[in-house]
Amino acid sequence: MPAEQLNRKIIDRIDEGVIVLENGTITRVNAAIERMTGMERAELMWLPLSQLLDPAPPLHFKTTPDVATAADEKPLMYESSLTVAKVQSLAVAESVHTVREGDGRLQFLIVRDIAERKKMQQNLLKSRQLESIAALSGGIAHDYNNLLTAIMGNLSLALTSIPEDEPM
């Protein structure tokens, strides 16, 4: 099996989406991107990245590493919405990688579905807000209880100083 064909099979088996770009236009995708978007590979080819990701990550870089030094470069990380079935959106995180190959520049994105993580973060935020409200209301109730205790104590003292035969 030729190396190119083997590489394509490996990339297609990856669970995370892979998008290869030339000049900001999609030239290759893997099967995971097809599953995430609900679109066929042919529909995705030659689309501008801005039609798929909102906001699309910036694709200009200060440095363009060679293939040999690409492993040393840190990818740029972004979060955006991926268009699903041309109408819905899915929260994704993408890492943008740039590699110079010969005279050209190859950019590719690794796209991860983070919708579940976002949902968990929102649930955690809601539970923390409820916890804060509970602590606040508990503190208010405690303060009122302290005030009522003082009032009840003073009333008890006042009642003991009134003779029993005197009308109230």
Quick one: CA dihedral 85, 87, 90, 92, positive or negative? Answer: positive
CB proximity list for 88: less than 8 A, separation 6 or greater = none
Q: Identity (one letter) of the amino acid at 140?
A: I
pLDDT tens, position by position, 110-157: 999 998 999 999 999 999 999 999 999 999 999 999 999 999 988 888
Q: Is the dihedral of CA 72, 1, 19, 59 positive or negative?
A: positive
Instruction: State pTM to two decimals.
Output: 0.67
Q: Which residue has the tokens 């104590």?
A: 153
**Per-residue model confidence as pLDDT tens digits over 19-61:** 998 877 888 999 999 999 999 999 999 888 888 888 877 765 4
Predicted confidence band at 89 (pLDDT cuts at 50, 70, 90)? confident
Token code pair at residue 48: 């501008």
Secondary structure element (H or E) that encloses residue 60, with its range: none
Which uninterrupted H or E stretch holds 95? Answer: strand 88-101
Length of the chain: 168
Which tokens hold the place of 44? 């995705």
